[in-house]
Amino acid sequence: MYRSILVAVDLGESSRDALKEAGELAVALNAHLTVLSVVPPLPAYASTAGVDIGALERDAQQEAQRVVNQAVHAVPENVAAHGIIRLGQAGSEIVAQIEEGGHDLVVLGSRGRGRVAAGLLGSVVGDVHFATKVSLLVVQPIDDAR
Q: Which helix (H) or strand (E) holds 43?
A: none
pLDDT at 19 exceeding the cut of 50: yes
Q: What angle do CA 119, 121, 122 make, to 5 degrees?
A: 65
pLDDT single digits (tens) 97-132: 999 999 999 999 986 544 443 343 348 998 999 999
Residue 123 vs residue 34, higher pLDDT: 34
Residue type, 92: S
Q: What angle do CA 74, 77, 82 make, to 5 degrees?
A: 65
DSSP 48: G
Q: What is the pTM of this model?
A: 0.87
Cα distance between the two ends of the chain: 32
pLDDT single digits (tens) 69-105: 999 999 999 999 999 999 999 999 999 999 999 999 9
Map out the domains of the chain with their CATH numbers. Answer: 4-139 (3.40.50.620)
Residue 100, phi then psi, degrees to nearest 5:
-70, -35
pLDDT single digits (tens) 37-46: 999 998 878 7
